[in-house]
Amino acid sequence: MSKCSNRAKKAIELGAIGYQMLPHFNKKLSISILKKPKLQCPVFRHMTTTTKHPRIPIVDLSKPMSEISALVHEALSDTGFMYVRNAAISKQHIESVLSMSRKFFTECDSSVKRTVEDPISAFRGYYVYKGTQSNVLHSNDNIECFSIGKECANPYSLRSEYFKRNGLPESIWKAGISKPNQWPKLPSQQFTKEFRETMQSYYNACVDTSTQILRLIAYSLGMTGEDVDYFLQFHNKWDCNLEPKFYPKFSVQKTEEKIRLSEHRDLTSITLLVQDQLSGLQVWDDHSHEWIDAPLSLSSGEGIILCNTGDFMAMWTGGLYKSTLHRVKASPFHSHHGPIEALDRISVVFFAWPNHEAVIQPLQRFTSTSHPPITCGDLMPFCYNNYNVSSVFVFALLNYLHFWRKKKQVMMLSFLFKVIILLRRETNIAISGKANSLNYFVRKIQFGYSVHQSCLSQFIKY
C-alpha cells in the first residue's frame, strides 16, 4: 500500500479536485472540494485491508484537564478522532435518542415524513440523500435524515448578523436557510411529545458536551485560565445541527465491501457521533494508509461517544488538529441461505459549527500558515442545497478555467459536465416561480463568486 505509482498519483491528483462537486449530494463535504487532500492515493485506499486500531483513545472527561490533555493532543494531531466518556451526554440520552430515531425512521410512513420534508436541505426537517453519490439507480445507498437546529423562538436571529453584514436581503435567507425546526405529528400524541423532547434534550446535551470538549481542546493547545474559553466565544449562539440518520438494510449479491457513505471530512469545529450498531464508521489513517474501524458500542455500559475535529478546528490550528477522512461501511452478515444481508443502522450526529458571523483565523502560534480570515457563514453556503447552486456553479466554472490553463484534459471534461448540470439546475430554479426575480439570481451569482474567491485563497494551500 505504501507504494503509489506516479501515474496513479497523478490520476488521483486530477480526480481529487473535482471530487464531490455537488454539495446537494453530500452536504458536509464542502471543503473537501476546495483543497487537494493530503492523502496520497484514494484508489489504493479502497484496496487496503481494514484493521481495528488502538490509536483512537478513550478520554475520560471526568478527570482534570491537566491529566487528559496530553492524550487529547496526541489523538487530535494524529487521527483527529477520540472517544469520550463521562461527557454531559449520558448513556440514557444516547439510548433514548437512538431508539426514538429508529422509531421515527422505521415506524412512520412516508406521508408523515413528507409533512416535515426539507426540500432545500436547509438542515431542518426530513430529507434523503445518496451516501455514495452513485448514479446507479438500484444502488442501496440512500440515507434518510432528520435534521434539527437550535430550538428558539426566533431562529432567524441566529444568522441575521451575518447575512445583513453581507448585504443579503432577508427575502433570500429568512424563509429557507433560517427556518424553524420542523416537528412531525407522529401517530400518537405521546410519541410526538417524546420525540420532540428527546431530540431537544439530546441537542442540549450535545451543546454541553461540545462546551466541555472545546475547553479541553483549548487547554490541550496550551491555553489556561480564562483562555480555555477561547473557542466558546465563536460558538455562543450554538447554531448547530443534530442529525439522526437511517441507513436501511439491503441484500448484497457479492461479498465485496459496500460503502454506505463516501469518504469525506466534516465542515465543523467538532462532530459528536453515536451509532446503534457496533461497527460502521471507519477513519482513514494517514500513517498506516489503512481504514481504521471506529466501533462504538452501547453495550460497553458507559455512554461513550465518538468525537472528531473538523475543518474549522483544522483551520484554527493550522492543520495541527486533523480534519480526517471518514466513511461508513455496511455491516454485512451471512445468512445460511440466500443473499448476504447488510444490517440497517442508525447514527446520530451532532455537527458543532461556529456562529455564522464568526471570523476564523489560525491561532497566533499558527499564523505562519497565513490564511486570510474567513467567516463560518462564508463556507456554509456550500452546504445549502438550493441556495448554493450559484456558488457551486461559479466555483466549477473557475476551476474549469484553472484546469484548462493547466491543460488537464480529463478534468476539463468532467468539470464541463458538472457545469452543464449545474447550469441546467440553476436555469430551472430561475424559471420556476420560486426565484423569478433577476435580482435574486444576480445576487446569488455575486455571492457565489465572493465565496469562491475567499475559499479558494483560503484552502487551496491547506
Ligand X SMILES: O=C(O)CCC(=O)C(=O)O
CA 167 to chain centre: 27
The three grid cell numbers given for residue 73, joined into one nine-digit string:
493532543
Nearer to Fe ion, 41 or 294 (CB): 294
78, 141, 239, 266: which one binds ligand X (CB under 6 A): 266
- CB 454 → ligand X: shortest distance, Å? 23
The three grid cell numbers given for residue 438, joined into one nine-digit string:
433577476
- CB 221 → ligand X: shortest distance, Å? 24
184 binds ligand X (CB under 6 A): no
Stretch of 115-123, 209-217, 274-282, 359-367 contacting ligand X, by CB under 6 A: 274-282
| 3-class secondary-structure state, position 377 | helix
- CB 281 → Fe ion: shortest distance, Å? 8
The site partner of 448 among Fe ion, ligand X, none (C-beta below 5 to 8 Å per kind) is none
28 binds ligand X (CB under 6 A): yes
The span from the CA of 152 to the CA of 148, in Å, is: 11
Q: CB 79: neighbour CB atoms within 10 A?
A: 24
Quick note: the x/- pattern for ligand X over 208-247, rule CB under 6 A, is -------------------------------------x--
Nearer to Fe ion, 243 or 426 (CB): 243
The site partner of 275 among Fe ion, ligand X, none (C-beta below 5 to 8 Å per kind) is ligand X
* Rama region for 347: left / alpha / beta (φ>0; ψ in -120 to 50; rest): beta
CA 260 to chain centre: 15
Nearer to Fe ion, 239 or 266 (CB): 266
Cα–Cα distances in Å, from 361 out to 216, 224, 271, 371, 376?
Answer: 19, 20, 20, 7, 10
Quick note: the x/- pattern for ligand X over 317-336, rule CB under 6 A, is ---------x-x--------
The site partner of 100 among ligand X, Fe ion, none (C-beta below 5 to 8 Å per kind) is none
Nearer to ligand X, 28 or 322 (CB): 28
The span from the CA of 134 to the CA of 146, in Å, is: 21
Pairing of strands 305-309, 81-85: antiparallel
Backbone angles phi and psi of 401, in degrees to 5: -65, -40
The site partner of 281 among Fe ion, ligand X, none (C-beta below 5 to 8 Å per kind) is ligand X
280 binds ligand X (CB under 6 A): yes
Q: CB 256: neighbour CB atoms within 10 A?
A: 9
Nearer to Fe ion, 293 or 357 (CB): 293
| 3-class secondary-structure state, position 18 | helix
Bridge partners of 281, per DSSP, are 328
| Amino acid identity for residue 184 in this structure | P
- CB 227 → ligand X: shortest distance, Å? 30
275 binds ligand X (CB under 6 A): yes
Nearer to ligand X, 144 or 266 (CB): 266
Nearer to ligand X, 322 or 371 (CB): 322
The site partner of 178 among ligand X, Fe ion, none (C-beta below 5 to 8 Å per kind) is none
- CB 103 → Fe ion: shortest distance, Å? 24
Quick note: the x/- pattern for ligand X over 83-112, rule CB under 6 A, is ------------------------------
The sign of the CA dihedral 360, 363, 364, 369 is: negative
Is residue 104 a contact partner of residue 186, using CB atoms and an 8 Å limit? yes
DSSP 409: H
- CB 271 → ligand X: shortest distance, Å? 7
Nearer to Fe ion, 266 or 378 (CB): 266
The site partner of 84 among Fe ion, ligand X, none (C-beta below 5 to 8 Å per kind) is none
Cα–Cα distances in Å, from 317 out to 209, 279, 314?
Answer: 21, 30, 5
The span from the CA of 264 to the CA of 258, in Å, is: 16
Using only C-alpha atoms, the chain has a radius of gyration, in whole angstroms, of 21
The site partner of 228 among Fe ion, ligand X, none (C-beta below 5 to 8 Å per kind) is none
Q: Spell out where 100-175 has E strands.
A: 125-130, 142-147
Quick note: the x/- pattern for ligand X over 379-418, rule CB under 6 A, is ----------------------------------------
The three grid cell numbers given for residue 219, joined into one nine-digit string:
487547554
349 binds ligand X (CB under 6 A): yes
Nearer to ligand X, 272 or 396 (CB): 272
To which residue does cell 458500542 refer? 297
Binding site for Fe ion (CB under 5 A): 266
Residue among 81, 106, 94, 91 nearest 247 (CA) = 106
Q: Which residues form the interface with ligand X (CB under 6 A)? A: 28, 245, 261, 266, 273, 275, 280-281, 326, 328, 347, 349
